[in-house]
Structure 1
């Protein structure tokens, strides 16, 4: 087999030399071929397509965090080429959700021993995709603050939490799922194709990226400690303070512009959001069924 590794050298703010060397060493004595190249954050989709045309890989592997995974997935959508994952970012939420081992050897071994599985994605506002979690409101505001101030690590997140709490405001939202339309005052609304954020905080206990649907999670109340749960592994959120609606599509309108993020990347402020599930649109290498373990 031929493996093509798309490496994000700045993902997670850490040097990827150890990952690059690990890839080379792992394949040194195997009858497989591997090629590595770097993403630059400017021409990534074009570069990935060129590399695929040149090397004709059997699998394209994203080496980085959730953002890197999304870049590569965008190119592979609808193709027969499966996506492999090496979780080398600061937030590896989707990798955790899929049961990808967190270490170099384990995640590389999975590329050989795992199996491709048709995985759902969410199309957002027609021209964007979500693999993991998107939201409007408080968490998206925190993502913006985090990016703008170039903060890193849990201390950076904590500083962001304090800043956002000082400015938090309820959103008035209209949410249409199927034939049902609800009006709510909420701190945030999440489109969840998975169970948890990259930090391990469970917000959607029944989430499953393979079930042909996603969940709309409405946070009606959100205390300081519940916000902290977004970034540290505590218990799931209090179900009395949230509502969860299973959906294959949703339309959301806000009465004022709301902060919006997709898979950990800030997208600006919006008043309208439309999303629809694309069942099984992406093939991803995951552990075989008998080897899968429940995510933390």
Structure 2
């Protein structure tokens, strides 16, 4: 059973108001009393709720942000968009990751149950987070970034439309024998579907043997294109569902003696900083990373602050993507 502020107060032999004052670092609490309260908090593992942290305010004025990790490319841009909006509203960010698997999920669950934040942004969350019973049973406002996870509203880029733009670009350059290097997850699935839909509308054959699986790493992109070459498949264009994977595809094609773009055109997805510096520079789809963070934060704060001018906190928000043409597929 979760430890309450009343239990902390009982064990420390003080009132709940005194516990709250200690949590808020008030100077009018006797030093010895404050030490005793903090020792009880440490011993019990108590996590303060919004009300316990600030009885006067009634809210934490914290926005929780949960991300898979901080290392994947593009996460910093999304978080910057979140920070720009949240900090301008006089709220602060409480950032956590799911890096540590079950331990991270347990800590996240404790924070949700303790109402450690007023609202929550989930960036590309795994099912273990969105299916978390504590989160679903709470009344916390939640917005998902880059993933439509029921029953939560979401903000995402139009990945299917971006991939469709790549397919149309290839066809406009008479590249009709195309291959795709895809990856795991909902976003890669949406990109592959958008790409295939345009080929189908154009009557261009596209069998499953033209799809190679990869993880979101350059090494897996290199291996995937090696498999395509070794299979004897004839192709004059490759769409990689991620820029990092596309960088590996370029290396694999170079090692196979295929010139880019003369023999094979290559396109990626994301417009990460590296895409302008590959050899040759990469044609890709620009995702609105900072705008995703900004839009998600605005939606969440609109709910928290009761701003009638904000988009209601239901359903998806989809932001447009743009095709950036460079030398790998001019």
TM-score of the superposition, structure 1-length normalised?
Answer: 0.33
Which is bigger in relative contact order (C-alpha 8 A, separation at least 6)? Answer: 1
Greater helix share, structure number: 2
TM-score of the superposition, structure 2-length normalised?
Answer: 0.31
Greater strand share, structure number: 1
